[in-house]
Amino acid sequence: MSRSAHPAGPRHADVLPEGHYSAPPADLNALDPRVWPRTASRTTDGSVTVGGLDVKDLAEEFGTPLYVLDEADFRARCRAWRDAFGPDADVFYAGKAFLSRAVVRWLTEEGLNLDVCSGGELAVALAAGMPPERIALHGNNKSSAEIRQAVEAGVGRIVLDSFQEIVRVAHIAERLGRRQPVQIRVTVGVEAHTHEFIATAHEDQKFGLALAPGGGHPEAGGGQAAEAVRRVLKLDSLELTGIHSHIGSQIFDTSGFEVAAHRVVGLLEDIRDEHGLELPEIDLGGGLGIAYTSEDDPSEPHEIAVSLHEIVRRECRAAGLAVPRLSVEPGRAVVGPSACTVYETGTVKELPGLRTYVSVDGGMSDNVRTALYDAEYSVSLVSRASDAEPMLSRVVGKHCESGDIVVRDAFLPADLAPGDLLAVPATGAYCRSMANNYNHALRPPVVSVRDGEARVIVRRETEEDLLRLDVG
């Protein structure tokens, strides 16, 4: 592997172009524990290990790009969330972040429940042995087949998202001779501080039923949510167990949950007054943020748990309600920091006076979040240490798109060369879940590492896989 110095782009002492970056770190070889898996460290020769295994060896055995998932880290985060919320709450892992049969088995063993939002996710959960009563089914447009699959399996809850879905679930449950537990998803008019494409609680969006009267049914008091409660309570095949809300993603401040809880508890109070019924559950959703860069400072699970429990208790006391069982749905906050993506450096191209473009052998096919959400990530040279000065870099993929960016602005060593391995941490959530075959790229494998052992839990796609689907 060549390690000769590469003509460097702008240094931190120069006048730099406008971008997302801050000052270069004091030590380019340091691994911020807030961003990297807990077992990540550098060896004496400067390469990075995760789960006791050198990334150079992992890259040689499994190829690149490669998702490396730290099993011990994942399990520890599961336990931290479970223990923080305690016996009076349920923690549902949001499977959309990343799901595989191995992950489902880890969740089951660590005592977490599972939230799925498609028939495919439900099939993986059931195939891996998750008890169906510990599964919740979400989605704004569940098909009849997905609903039937869930009711037949005996899932613990289906979260209703529309008036039509109330009828659909009730009809299927009745035909199967079941009484299906359900919750109603409401939009509470709270927009968390997040990217507009991943904000999910303001009223002008596809999820949930509005609490506000403006969206209400003509003959009903209150909004759509109150009318949905009336309709569900009239149907013998449905058992209304609670109210669900979700205010956004990558949230660092629990103040949005306080407003959401206040409004949801207001609905619970109305239900008691109108129907003489106190619902036993309240689900405040997920969306808790993680550190993608050293500038992010997320709260620990125990801090979040204390805050959310107190918010719900306070709101219920004020309304004269018994405190319902609380549910939360962390996904990214569990799996996000537990993984990193390893790439091999290809072209290193300096643009004098601007930056250096570093091309890797992956890109928007294995991490589309930068292109979709302008997401920010960190990146490090992991196959060796370097004492070269920092150069302003943009890590890009190999796809035929100018927006194919992995890390928009980063400082990498000025001696970076083709063949060096780079790793982007905090890629456990949504990267493999949203991976695609653009340019007929092959989706990378997921390799779990623990105590010096590695195993493939999701294999790399092959050209045969692509051709097998192409039946024309």
How high does pLDDT run on average in the chain?
92
Predicted local distance difference test score (pLDDT) of residue 192 = 65
Signed CA dihedral, 280, 112, 284, 314: sign only: positive
Q: Where are the domains of the chain?
A: 41-70+337-469, 138-330
Could you tell me the pTM of the whole model? 0.92
- Tell me which DSSP letter residue 196 carries: G
Signed CA dihedral, 202, 208, 213, 215: sign only: positive
pLDDT in tens, 373-384: 999 999 999 999
Decide: helix, strand or coil at residue 262. Answer: helix
CATH topology of domain 138-330: TIM Barrel (3.20.20)
**CATH topology match: 41-70+337-469 vs 138-330:** no
* pLDDT higher than threshold 90 for residue 8: no
Beta strands 421-425 and 339-351 are antiparallel
Predicted local distance difference test score (pLDDT) of residue 188 = 87
Percent of the chain with pLDDT over 90: 83
Distances (CA, A) of 316 to 91, 187, 193, 305: 20, 19, 26, 16
What is the average pLDDT across 397-426? 97
Peptide bond between residue 65 and the one before it cis (omega within 30 degrees of 0): yes
pLDDT in tens, 295-329: 999 999 999 999 999 999 999 999 999 999 999 99
Single-letter code of the amino acid located at 345 = T
From 139-153, 193-207, 392-406, the region with the lowest mean pLDDT: 193-207
Predicted local distance difference test score (pLDDT) of residue 191 = 65
* CATH code of the domain made up of 41-70+337-469: 2.40.37.10
Predicted local distance difference test score (pLDDT) of residue 195 = 52
* pLDDT higher than threshold 80 for residue 213: no
From 14-28, 137-151, 279-293, 334-348, the region with the lowest mean pLDDT: 14-28
Model confidence band, residue 18 (pLDDT cutoffs 50, 70, 90): low
How far is Cα 81 from Cα 441, in angstroms, rounded to an integer? 36
DSSP string across 225-261: HHHHHHHHHT-TTEEEEEEE----SSB--THHHHHHH
pLDDT in tens, 138-181: 999 999 999 999 999 999 999 999 999 999 999 999 999 999 99
* pLDDT higher than threshold 60 for residue 5: no
CB 326 within 8 A of CB 88: yes
Percent of the chain with pLDDT over 70: 91
Model confidence band, residue 222 (pLDDT cutoffs 50, 70, 90): low
What is the average pLDDT across 437-444? 97
Enzyme catalytic residues: 400
Q: Name the nearest CA neighbour of 24 among 16, 352, 360, 37.
A: 16
Predicted local distance difference test score (pLDDT) of residue 249 = 87
User: Which position has the token pair 């989706």?
Assistant: 443
What is the average pLDDT across 363-391? 97
* pLDDT higher than threshold 50 for residue 9: no
What is the average pLDDT across 187-212? 70
What is the average pLDDT across 334-348? 98
What is the average pLDDT across 428-446? 98
Model confidence band, residue 107 (pLDDT cutoffs 50, 70, 90): very high
From 10-19, 43-52, 172-181, the region with the lowest mean pLDDT: 10-19
Predicted local distance difference test score (pLDDT) of residue 64 = 98
* pLDDT higher than threshold 80 for residue 113: yes
pLDDT in tens, 270-298: 999 999 999 999 999 999 999 999 999 99
